[in-house]
Amino acid sequence: MMKDFPSCFGENGVQVADSSPSTTNRAQNLVACIYQYHSQSFSGFITVTWIKNIMAQALSIAVENSANDSLGKVDIRPWLFSKRKGFKKMVVDSTQVDIYWDLSSAKFGSSPEPLEGFYLAIALNQELCLLLGDLQTEAYKKIDPSPFASKATFLARKEHIFGKRLYNSKAQFCGKGRVHDIRIEFDPNESFGKCLTMFVDRKAVLQVTHLQWKFRGNQTIFVDGVCVEVYWDVHGWLFDSEAGSAIFLFRTQVSGAKAGGGRPPLEPSALGLKDWQRWKDTPSHSHGFSLVLCAWKSE
């Protein structure tokens, strides 16, 4: 069973870890992505987490089969000496998991996720199941791709974002769609009470006033003709001075579903955490794309 997005990493350059993230690490800068892989012999989920903090950057990889049983977890700190490029092999229940990475020329922006100049390849019993990055030719020298191997499906992204009143991210809500700019504005002094406004490509798509009463809710918007369910929970911003975080979930509707239907509604407390297992256990054809933003107030 998947425990939430892995965000911890060990003291060594490469380490197989079984611990879950501690509360002290939750506010660190991270991007976690879930992919669903299919091949001739395997199917399941791979979670890739990119982490950045004051000390260093790190990479965490968790591989699961279709029954959500772990096939291994590797935590890498590639910015220590020679660990920017490497290989890790694990064998779990007769399944061999090979992980190759090369981040020696990776280029980064403000996000801990690299923009270019890298590859990350994962194979199960020598079948390529996931390939990330733009250096695919170099990766193919390590793993000979099976002609039957299918491309992994990008299912979900979780990102920690920081700000005082403005929070920014990006999202691609469908496989062939454009990448959109997302901006969330929090106005604590609006004439109608505390106000929350969401923008997609500078166009306001949602506004919530009187947040002290409507600090949890949901609404449907349309982006590129795609129906997107938007959930928000800003209780942490308003009433929890220690946490200081809010959760926003953008989830594309399943094909053919009507706005507001097709799936059971989320409980507000489930945003980004408890809902993950229920969401993963649905049939694969009903998976849309989900973006979870954990918005932290920075002083």
Element (H, E) at 235: helix 235-239
pLDDT at 273: 40
Distance CA 149, CA 124 (A): 11
Each residue of 179-225: pLDDT tens digit?
899 999 999 876 667 899 999 999 999 999 988 899 999 999 998 88
- Average pLDDT rounded to a whole number, residues 30-46: 87
pLDDT over threshold 60, residue 285: no
Residue 62 pLDDT:
93
Residue 200 has a pLDDT of: 93
Q: What is the pLDDT of residues 67-126, one digit of tens each?
A: 778 888 888 876 654 578 888 998 888 888 999 999 989 898 888 999 999 999 998 888
Q: Residue 281: CB partners within 8 Å, gap ≥ 6?
A: 68
> How large a percentage of the chain has pLDDT more than 90?
34
Give the pLDDT band (50/70/90) at residue 242: low
129-170: pLDDT as tens digits: 899 999 988 888 888 766 555 578 888 999 999 998 999 998
Per-range mean pLDDT, top range of 38-42, 63-67, 256-260, 284-288:
63-67
Q: Tokens at residue 250, please?
A: 């953008």
Q: What percent of the chain has pLDDT over 70?
A: 73
**Max avg pLDDT among 10-19, 134-143, 264-273:** 134-143
CA dihedral 232, 236, 237, 238 (to 10 degrees): 100
- The pLDDT of residue 80 is 57
Q: Which helix (H) or strand (E) holds 5?
A: none
Contact 265, 275 (CB under 8 A): no
Kindly report the pTM of this predicted structure.
0.78
